[in-house]
Structure 1
Amino acid sequence: MKILISGYYGFENIGDDAVLECIIAGLREKGIDDITVLSNTPTNTSFRYNVKSVYRNSFKEVFNAIKNTDILLSGGGSLIQDITSNKSLWYYLSIIFFGILLGKKVYIIGQGIGPLEHKYNRLLSRFILRRVDLITVRDEDSMIFLKGLNIEKNVILAADPVVNLAPCSEERLEEILRNEGIDKGKYIVVCTREWGNNELSRVELAKAVDDISKKYNLEVVFLPFYYNKDDAESEKVANYLKSPYKIIKSKYEPKEILGIVKNCQLLIGVRLHSLVFALVSLVPFIGISYDPKIDGFLKSINLKSFKIDKFSSDELVNYAESILDNRDNFVDNLKIHLEELRKLSDNNFNIFDKSK
């Protein structure tokens, strides 16, 4: 069986790299090893994951890859939305549409669907998505969104594939922390990203981080999830800090990033997958939402969501105190939800038992 995977791969985004790693692992657990990935850096992707890969922006290569596959798999992430751009949405829909036209099985797995703000994007998405063979979504809000598009058939609730990611070895983690000059278990992780003109949010976030790090005697570590982008935003937030800090600028694998997260005392994250990493690590965390996908994830595990343009430093500090001073209860709650999500994540791959 030949599988072709389409997604936002080859852009040095830790979250998407983790998604791809977990999708490939899930397929291989089902005995599927003939895997091709559409990537922005195909040579690197082939070497990194031991798969075939083609350049995602070459029409000829992409068309031939779709033509020669058995199943086109679109996922995971948030591909079917127009908040990022219309162009991005149209790209992913066109890949799906070519799969349908060429008579391939088309699965959308582990995705967050929406929002679609423009009417023509909703109409186009509904026209195409109603013709795919199966959709698994990572949260209930995505199911509700699809229902609003009159798409209910062959839609299954699953979870983000990244809930199955495992951290690097303790030996490798200790090497990383030693190289970065970070004391194991004595730091707070901040994962931010740029979103509009949010200078006030930067000020409030920095003040909260200062207060939390001071009260609990924790070092501040900024952990970019999107290289060459998040480090710049981290610098902007750090400029308002009074506490000493570090920004990790070296490139690490998702499992290594997960190891860094696993050994912190608290994570404050704007990037969705920084929050997923914290859940997988059973580390207390605070989610700041710039997008409905953050709200959907936090809602799925019954945690509070702070809007990126509306939170105050006092709110973050009070919430941090409530979870850190009741750490065991918070972690016990995470364990319950992580177990539930891991069971749901099986729905992303059970479909391949029937495809053989």
Structure 2
Amino acid sequence: MKPNKILLTGYIGYKNFGDDLLFEIAIERIKDLPNIEVSAVVTDPSINFDYLYKYYPNLKIIRLNRSIPKLFYLKFNKVYYIGGGVFFDYNQKISSLKFLKKYLSNFLNFKIPKLLGTEFGGIGIGVGPYFHKQTLALHRQVLSSFEILGVRDKKSYDFLKGIKIKNLYLSNDLSVGYEKLPDNDIITSLKEVIICPRSYSHKPEFEKHIITLLDFAKFLEENNIKTHWVFLQEDDENLMNKIKQNFRTTIWNPDLMSILSFVKLFQNAEAVFSSRMHSLFIAGLVNTSFVAIELHPKLKYASELFYENPIILNPLDDLDKYKVAYTKLKNIVFNKSKLKKEEECLEVLNSKILGWLKK
């Protein structure tokens, strides 16, 4: 019998902790399915993705040159989007010619393969923002081809409901169901505040939050509170050099560390201040209090999974508001019942995804 050929797609191979976490979880959940051949697609020809094999040695990795070739998906029975914000567009406009070219490309890459038997599905997908209605129309063309689609937040769900996407489910990011959490007894006596930022070129004014975090870190250090800057991937070189010179710094590197060892950094922290969504998920899962800096609506949504009234800062807030947020952390309480409900919802959708992959 021919194997069921499954293609995993998303932001795979870029040494981004959030995407690598999603990849590990997706692999763990499908690797024991009978009679499958699992491939992953990497669309950046310049990156080294060898570390992906440690998650699944039998993986077939297909390297492409930036774009998906026409009719490429015909090679697979199932194309599985494993999560992340893969459908969005910050462009303010799109030319008619570009729209027509992309429309034709989508027809060849999604509609024809679907007609000839390839099925598309996804879980934990982030959708939006969009600044031009034509881009949303292009993504509707793609997503209407999906047999099953789980989105990670209400805003994404409302986007797709509004454009009448079928087979749609509101669930969450796969990381909410991450099961390989460290034991509680590994906690050390070291207590520090983790600062986990990102540059955000989409809104240059939001870069202020990094300057304020630098001032906040200096304030904490002056008051004998250790800080630890943790990056989920390499960031702006000048920023990284400045922080490395002044603060303890760790950058996710899958060649040198495991997902579990990185998670332990958050378990051993007193608190986390972050503008990265997956750091909020990990902090919450290991019961470390956190403050979200809302570069994107997904950070608010992630925070509300763990707290009834989360502490959320605006990227334009000043240092005094960061200080107040730190004092409020002493009284904040995790909403474990809400998280449990979300985990159950995710598991139901994951069962549907596994059933779809087996067909």
Same fold by TM (over 0.5)? yes
Structure 2 counterpart of 1:278 = 283
Inter-CA distance 292–250: structure 2 relative to 1 (3 Å threshold) = closer
CA-to-partner distance for each residue in 1:108-149, whole Å, 9 max, x for gaps? 211111112112101111222123211101112211111222
Residues 171 and 345 in structure 2, CA contact (< 8 A), matched pair in contact too? yes
Residues 166 and 258 in structure 1, CA contact (< 8 A), matched pair in contact too? no
The alpha carbon displacement at 1:281 in A equals 1.4
Structure 2 counterpart of 1:269 = 274
Inter-CA distance 63–21: structure 2 relative to 1 (3 Å threshold) = farther
Q: CA RMSD in A?
A: 3.3
The alpha carbon displacement at 1:320 in A equals 1.9
Residues 91 and 132 in structure 2, CA contact (< 8 A), matched pair in contact too? no
Whether 1:158 aligns to 2:171 is: yes
Separation in structure 2 between the aligned mates of residue 95 and residue 265 of structure 1, nearest angstrom: 48
Where in structure 2 are the equivalents of 1:310-329 lying within 5 Å? 310-323=316-329, 325-326=330-331
Amino acid at match of 2:209: S
Partner of residue 45 from structure 1, selected from 40, 52, 57: 52
Amino acid at match of 1:208: F
Query: 5+ unaligned residues in a row in structure 1: which ranges?
Result: 175-182
Where in structure 2 are the equivalents of 1:236-315 lying within 5 Å? 236=242, 245-249=247-251, 251=253, 252-301=257-306, 302=308, 303-308=310-315, 310-315=316-321
**Which structure carries more helix by proportion?**
1
Q: SS where residue 14 of structure 2 aligns?
A: coil
Amino acid at match of 1:9: I
Where in structure 2 are the equivalents of 1:137-286 lying within 5 Å? 137-151=151-165, 153-166=166-179, 184-196=189-201, 197=204, 198=206, 200-212=208-220, 217-227=224-234, 229=235, 232-236=238-242, 245-249=247-251, 251=253, 252-286=257-291
Q: SS where residue 79 of structure 2 aligns?
A: strand
Q: SS where residue 24 of structure 2 aligns?
A: helix
Amino acid at match of 1:53: I
Residues 74 and 96 in structure 1, CA contact (< 8 A), matched pair in contact too? no
Per the normalisation by structure 2, the TM-score is 0.80
The alpha carbon displacement at 1:97 in A equals 5.0
Separation in structure 1 between the aligned mates of residue 124 and residue 340 of structure 2, nearest angstrom: 17
Structure 1 counterpart of 2:65 = 57
Separation in structure 1 between the aligned mates of residue 85 and residue 219 of structure 2, nearest angstrom: 34
Structure 2 counterpart of 1:178 = none
Separation in structure 2 between the aligned mates of residue 200 and residue 5 of structure 1, nearest angstrom: 36
Query: 5+ unaligned residues in a row in structure 2: which ranges?
Result: none
Residues 243 and 249 in structure 2, CA contact (< 8 A), matched pair in contact too? no
Q: How many residues align?
A: 331
The alpha carbon displacement at 1:101 in A equals 5.1
